[in-house]
Amino acid sequence: MAGGEGKFSCTQAALSVLEYDTLKTVHIKSKKVGLIFRILQLVILGYIIGYAIIWQKGYQAADQAVSTVYSKVKGVAVTCNDLNVTSIRNCSDSDIRVWDTADYVIPPQESNAAFIVTNSVQTSNQTQQPGGWPEDPDASTKGSQRAYTCEKNADCEAVRFSPSRNGAVSGKCDLATKRCMVYGWGPVELSKDDDASQVLGYPRQMPQVKNFTMFIKNTIFFPHFQRKFGNTGLGNSSASYLKSCLWNESTDRYCPVFRIEDILSAAGVKSFEQDVMMAGAVITVQIRYDCNLDKNVETCAPEYRFTRIDEPNNTLSNGFNFRFARYAIGEVPSRDLYKVYGLRFVFIVSGTAGKFDFVPLLVTFGSGLGLLSLATIVADLLVTKCLRNAEFYYDRKYEIVNEDEVEGEAINVTIRQKPEEDTPLLH
């Protein structure tokens, strides 16, 4: 008997694979619920077709750009080495300093960036001598790179070779400034010269920079589509046009030649002389390509955005500056030390390209259809939780079965299905 029951159970288990289960459906004739349900479906379909597929181009395969960019700056600036003059027009011929591209673009070529000098502090003919040099009398006496005060040589001998602002402490005291002298390059750079450079009218400031022009050339390549685009073959690409045009967002947005003042204005700088010439600035040049290869596979125009990213109101260190030296090799090696302020342009190129592909279309549409279940969920919540007869609809939709009822029902079913005992035939 037990073996028969076991055989029957295994048979039933095997046959259950061929059975089919379906959800219970309750058809509710409510215009309110039906209207809400259909509106939700239309909204979701509108999102799928209008936004995900059309607006976001979900029907296209996409590729990211590989790019390169370089720049050339043109212009001439004039400064005066005589720091006592109040106007460049009063500068003598012997003190005039002319800056061309090779002078003010430092370094000459930089990866995805360019720097233009707008102001400088120059300490000329520095050498190193055995006895050391007097330290800057205005140098701070606090901090890791401080100058050391003294009354006699013994005060400096105690801190000999310690780092000072402009060198290493020599062990000798400069009684005139009450500062320890330093080994290093001298005469040392003076704080007062640096402070003077931050006053408008300083003879080494370069207001002409705002009229300089920058030629920006960049090329992008989309490996997946094997397409290459650039910013120099758009519109009129003749040599005469490129020599005379200037970029303007409204009238000539395809020109790759930019005036420095136009870039700064687009970045939110109001006055070149007041805002950036003295202390410098950092400007990002964002070049963005969005190429729809379904419309045009030959050209793709970039969009330019300019942003100032340094902190102009930071009193600790605003703008952008650095130091460099130019050396002269002679009987006594010497150098000219420059602290330069200027504009650092950082080029950021990005781009995407898209082209119709059946696979992303199916993926976008299929994933969007899954959102249609939200309409059913919302409608069920309204019916079972919010309507006036919500409890009635809840009982109709969800059938609650207790385990005791299942066992009792199973016994009754078994009794009804049990075959009647054999009875004698009537003759």
CA 424 to each of CA 69, 265, 416: distance values in angstroms, whole numbers, following the listed order: 106, 113, 22
Instruction: Note whether 182 and 168 are within 8 A (CB).
Output: yes
Q: Is 322 annotated as a binding residue?
A: yes
Instruction: Note whether 199 and 277 are within 8 A (CB).
Output: no
Closest CA to 189 of 169, 207, 164, 172: 164
Task: Locate 247 and state its tokens.
Answer: 């970029």
Amino acid at 233: G
Cβ burial of 139 (10 Å; 0-12, 13-18, 19+) is buried
Task: Locate 392 and state its tokens.
Answer: 């009635």
Closest CA to 286 of 214, 350, 343: 350
Residue 373 parent element (H or E): helix 373-381
Task: Locate 390 and state its tokens.
Answer: 């919500």
Q: Is 243 annotated as a binding residue?
A: no
Q: Is 57 annotated as a binding residue?
A: no
Q: Is 73 annotated as a binding residue?
A: yes
Q: Is 89 annotated as a binding residue?
A: no
Query: How many Cα atoms are found within 13 Å in the side-chain-facing hemisphere of 186?
Result: 19
Tabulate helix, strand, coil % of the chain (nearest 5): 35, 30, 40
Q: Is 66 annotated as a binding residue?
A: no
Query: What 8-state DSSP symbol labels residue 17?
Result: G
For 24-47, give the DSSP string: -------HHHHHHHHHHHHHHHHI
Q: Is 217 annotated as a binding residue?
A: no
Amino acid at 332: V
Q: Is 323 annotated as a binding residue?
A: yes
Binding site, by residue number, is 72-74, 213, 321-323, 339
Binding site for ATP, by residue number, is 72-74, 213, 321-323, 339
